[in-house]
Amino acid sequence: MGDIYFQKGNLKQAEACYRASLERDPQDIDARAHMGQCLLRAQNAAAARPLLEQVCREKPMHDYGHSLMAYAETLAALGETDAAIEVWQRVLESHSYARARVQLAELHLAKNQQDLAQAGLREAISDDAHAPNFQRKRDRVWIRKARRLLRASLRPAVNAQSRH
């Protein structure tokens, strides 16, 4: 039930369902992972971190890497950029999620690592061109963001060249 509330964006009810589930079975890896994701979306990254960290330590590719992606987002939200970059790189060792490529690129941009960011953004955009329609639809928000970030990251270089 918590997953349904979570998908509908009703985070308070989702959290209550996940808490009830964890009271019944505190070792349920899905309940812990989904509770962590719910807390993250509710802007409570500090509470999400131990749940997601534990799940990812037990089963790094839980839920096809989605728990690991939530953990990376949690680290980034807590300002732990280097740790978040490492986790995003772990995700991309096994998966080619646009979400992972774009968020990793954002962290590279924040660290002024333009080349790494641009390479990741280009790869996300390139992969999208060959993806099946259902995947393209699912990743649309990430690909739009990748295009925006890539254009913005190229602009300073273009402006600097035009001044010379």
Domain match, 109 and 84 both = no
Domain match, 78 and 1 both = yes
| Tokens describing residue 51 | 């749940």
Among candidate residues 77, 95, 113, the one where a domain is terminated: 95
Domain match, 3 and 83 both = yes
98-151 per-position pLDDT tens digit? 999 999 999 999 999 999 999 999 999 999 999 999 999 999 999 999 999 999
Domain match, 139 and 72 both = no
| Tokens describing residue 145 | 């963001």
Domain match, 85 and 111 both = no
Write phi, then psi, for 63 (nearest 5 degrees): 55, 45
Residues in contact with 39: Cβ distance below 8 Å, sequence separation at least 6, in sequence order = 15, 45, 47, 48, 51
Q: pLDDT at position 156, please?
A: 62
Residue 18: which CATH number?
A: 1.25.40.10
- The CA-to-CA distance between both ends of the chain, in Å, stands at 61
Kindly list the distances between the CA atom of residue 145 and the CA atoms of 98, 130, 133, 155, 162, in Å, as whole numbers in the listed order. 10, 18, 18, 15, 26
Q: How many domains does the chain have?
A: 2
34-64 per-position pLDDT tens digit? 999 999 999 999 999 999 999 999 999 999 9
Task: Give me the domain span that covers residue 88.
Answer: 1-95
Q: pLDDT at position 155, please?
A: 82
CA distance 85 to 107: 7
Domain match, 39 and 120 both = no
Domain match, 120 and 83 both = no
**Lookup result for tokens 């960290």:** 53
Predicted TM-score (pTM) of the model is 0.91
